Structure 1
Amino acid sequence: MKVLVVGANGQIGKHLISILGKSEDHTVKAMVRKEEQASVLKKSGIESVVKSLEASVDEIAAIAKDCDAIVFTAGSGGQTDADQTLLIDLDGAAKTIEAAEKVGVKRFIMVSAIQAHRRENWNEQLKSYYVAKHHADNILVHSRLTYTIVRPGGLLNEPGSGEVLIAEDIAKGFIPREDVANTIVNALTEENTYNRSFDLVSGETQIIEALISF
């Protein structure tokens, strides 16, 4: 499976690129915002393309047309203003979903945020971010795509343990970014995750087992 990673220079994106680049089952195409980011990836043998999520649906579609799946892990960052958050985390996601439908990419994994589906549990200090994630997720659910929405808890930079807790509703928790990336890669072909959404935090179950059994 050829996987387009949107947001490949982000912290989860970098883990995804590394894992997919070593995979025997998948190949990877990285979408980044800056030419220097693409140059670094290309030196590592990673197919890369430079494009902003403020580009048109047609421009994004042209990048996705030779891929089998898309992972959307782009984000404006917690320090950006509400306008930029809506442009990237909401409209950028919506355009990528439209682009996938336009060129027949069926598989789509969205990286969201824990409890994005429950307004009453949103972090008030990140409300614009949660609004964007909530509505982007809903757009994906109502698309024609075979989706999985992964809602990780607080993100950590420590090494992954390979053990997680997956459920449709988890109040809070933390997880290393490496474990999020490994969960995404394992979910690509795991049919139990098709057209489902889940919260994701560190736990005591191996990733593939957790994906099969939740």
Structure 2
Amino acid sequence: MDILVAGGHGKVALRLLRLLAEQGHTARGLIRSPQHAADLEAAGAVPVLGDLENDETLDAYVRGADAVVFAAGAGPGSGPGRKRTVDLGGAVKLADAALSTGVRRYVMVSSIGADRPESAGETMRPYLLAKAEADDYVRASGLDATIVRPGSLTDEPGTGLVRVSRELGGRGPVPRDDVAAVLAYVLGAPRTAGLTFELFGGDTPIPQAVDAL
């Protein structure tokens, strides 16, 4: 498959691109800075230069893909305004580009707490509000979308063992390695289209956990 990952230089995205390339897919990462291209190439991915936040349309980058993944984020140091333009606006723009170019498959990296953003603290609330609206837009778009809501991200080595749940409201950490592995598996599991699920470290192998959803 040809898979475009928006936010291609992110910590989860780079891990995902490496996995996809190792599996023989054409793994393309959308990045804004040319300085990040070498990191993507080292992961076996194809860097695609474009501005998720400011480009009027992402059609040119999405065209020809079999699936898209939204793994971008404004980051913890950004203000509420950029949460709206990146975490929400970028996800919407990617969905619109998928619709206009005939790409059906969309995988969203969301967040735990996006089902109840109003209960978050002042710092997290703008981020979770943006994620919640983005998830709602993608769900309503008619795309074959899967929304993955990881728990607290860590840089611990992945175990390949997870806990997933369609019942929202959980809490717990999960290694970025395992998030990337779940995303890669979901991309090859079209039956997960239409699902929203939370993801944490656990004791069930990824294929078994996802197939049981």
TM-score (norm 2): 0.94
CA contact (8 A) 2:21 2:43 kept: no
The 3-state SS of whatever aligns with 2:23 is coil
Which stretch of structure 1 is more off in the superposition, 134-143 or 40-49? Answer: 40-49
CA contact (8 A) 2:74 2:82 kept: yes
- Listed one character per residue, the Cα deviations across residues 111-134 of structure 1 (whole Å, up to 9, x for unaligned) are 000131223553442111001000
Change (3 A) 1:166 1:45: closer
CA contact (8 A) 2:22 2:44 kept: no
The equivalences for 1:47-62 within 5 A come to 47-58=46-57, 60-62=58-60
Q: State which of 117, 141, 153 in structure 1 corresponds to 2:115.
A: 117
Q: Hey, what's the Cα distance between the residues in 1 that align with 2:106 and 2:63?
A: 13
**Alignment size in residue pairs:** 212
Superposed displacement of residue 4, structure 1: 0.3
CA contact (8 A) 1:170 1:200 kept: no
Q: Which amino acid aligns with 1:210?
A: A
Aligned to 1:18: 18
Aligned to 2:103: 105
The answer for unaligned runs of 5 or more in structure 2 is none
Which stretch of structure 1 is more off in the superposition, 204-213 or 40-49? Answer: 40-49
The equivalences for 1:30-179 within 5 A come to 30-42=29-41, 45-58=44-57, 60-119=58-117, 121-168=119-166, 169-179=168-178
Q: Hey, what's the Cα distance between the residues in 2 that align with 1:96 and 1:124?
A: 28
Once the two structures are aligned, what percentage of the paired residues are identical?
35
Change (3 A) 1:138 1:44: closer
The 3-state SS of whatever aligns with 1:125 is coil
- Listed one character per residue, the Cα deviations across residues 16-44 of structure 1 (whole Å, up to 9, x for unaligned) are 111111113x2211111101112443365
CA contact (8 A) 2:88 2:133 kept: yes
Change (3 A) 1:212 1:57: farther
The 3-state SS of whatever aligns with 1:8 is coil
Q: Hey, what's the Cα distance between the residues in 1 that align with 2:43 and 2:158?
A: 23
Change (3 A) 1:147 1:57: farther
Consecutive aligned runs of 4 or more in structure 1 exceeding 4 Å deviation: none
The 3-state SS of whatever aligns with 1:49 is strand
Q: Which amino acid aligns with 1:164?
A: V
Q: Hey, what's the Cα distance between the residues in 2 that align with 1:199 and 1:10?
A: 20
Change (3 A) 1:192 1:121: farther
The answer for unaligned runs of 5 or more in structure 1 is none
